[in-house]
Structure 1
Amino acid sequence: MAVKGDETKARLIEATRRLVEAKGYHGTGLNEILTASGAPRGSLYHHFPGGKDQLVGEALSAAGREIDGVVAELSATAAGPAELVAALLDALAERMVAADYTKGCPVATVALEVAATNDALQPLCDGIYTGWRRALASALLADGHDAAEVDDLATTVLALIEGSLVLARTARSRTPIEQTGRRITRLLAKR
């Protein structure tokens, strides 16, 4: 029975990830999640007694781990942070195109909606972004960038990545991502 319950919980999380990334927190209803997941209503409240916030929180955490995994995989072959970021941008662009521009950053859509209003999800979104910034700062430091500058540089690069995803999704074009990738490569070139 536990296996079936785990599968149902995973389906609910995956359906929520897809829907909130495409439609946002407020644009995604619980009935829609139930329909997309094929899960019965009772399972939703059994697995997520905290309701929609808990479900969305677990979906965001899963999305954050997915990007962490992509970064770890790309880091294994990248020759440095510039190559890593370029590969990450390419992977995110491919993901966006494959989803017909309904996907961008798996956290941004919700983060923008709830940052000022939802005390449960705001710190979760912030934590995911903080983890990504720290990982990038560590890669920059390991690559020989100035220790006094890596935090600012990591924040700038993450902001450029996030902004390029918004612009690409809005334009329904990879061009903003490609332009940003070229600029980040120059930005990360050690002088």
Structure 2
Amino acid sequence: MDTKSLIIDIATALFQKKGYMGVGLNEILKACKVTKGALYHHFPNGKEELLIACLDAMNRAITTDIEDIFNRHPNTQAATQAMIEKMIADFDQKGSITGHTFISIVSEMGSVSEPVRNACSLLYTRIQAIYADKLAADGMSQEDANAMALMMTASIEGGTMLCLTNKTSEPLKMISQILPKISLIH
């Protein structure tokens, strides 16, 4: 793995675990075993530029994972169920859902930095498009599919935050039972 990719991978994990403000540049340097010069070589504008690179990497990983799940299942109901069950299993095994969420970064930095807000917005837009496309393929009108995709995104993200806050996967378990049924109503 090249130095830039290594920095992005390690910083992403740190940002997801501790939030943007909770991770200092020295901690990133130490964890990556690189010099400040090496970091600034790849990210001349510093920590915020690194965060945006991390968000971009997360965007690709999360949407690829969701697309894979949604492509393997015949309809939105089955795909949504499988995706949420995977998130529940991750939470129950690891006590976190780091591969699928960046809520702490959004809440911490979204109002502070327009480039960070835009990077976060892009991810949510891509997730909603995956959901909307599958709903439309199931026969829902595009307008209804877009509205349902927004509701699905909000429910899953909110459920994820509740899981992390309450240290239990119960919110996502409840959403996994209810959300697929709601998405069938047109």
Asked if these proteins are the same fold (TM beyond 0.5), I'd say: yes
Q: 1:75 offset after TM fit, Å?
A: 2.1
Aligned mate of 2:164, from 154, 164, 169 = 169
Q: 1:87 offset after TM fit, Å?
A: 1.3
SS in 2 for 1:28: coil
Aligned mate of 2:62, from 49, 64, 67 = 67
The separation in 2 between residues aligned to 1:126 and 1:107, in whole angstroms, is 11
Residue 144 (str. 1) matches residue 139 (str. 2): yes
The separation in 2 between residues aligned to 1:36 and 1:97, in whole angstroms, is 26
Residue 127 (str. 1) matches residue 90 (str. 2): no
Aligned residues between the structures:
186
Identity of aligned residues (%): 26
Contact 1:64/1:128 (<8 A) preserved: yes
The separation in 1 between residues aligned to 2:183 and 2:173, in whole angstroms, is 15
What is the letter of the counterpart of residue 31 of structure 1?
Answer: N
Q: 1:64 offset after TM fit, Å?
A: 1.2
Q: TM-score, normalised by structure 2?
A: 0.93
Matching residue of 2:149: 154
What is the letter of the counterpart of residue 98 of structure 1?
Answer: Q
Residue 112 (str. 1) matches residue 104 (str. 2): no
Aligned mate of 1:19, from 9, 14, 25 = 14
What is the letter of the counterpart of residue 37 of structure 1?
Answer: C
Matching residue of 1:3: none
Residues 88-99 of structure 1 aligned to structure 2 (within 5 Å): 88-99=83-94
The separation in 1 between residues aligned to 2:120 and 2:50, in whole angstroms, is 14
Residue 181 (str. 1) matches residue 166 (str. 2): no
Deviations 1:34-60 (A, max 9, x none): 122222221100000111111011111
What is the letter of the counterpart of residue 50 of structure 1?
Answer: N
Unaligned runs of 5+ in 2: none
Change (3 A) 1:189 1:164: same
Q: TM-score, normalised by structure 1?
A: 0.90
Q: 1:160 offset after TM fit, Å?
A: 0.3
Change (3 A) 1:50 1:98: farther
Matching residue of 2:42: 47
- RMSD (CA atoms): 1.6
Matching residue of 2:27: 32
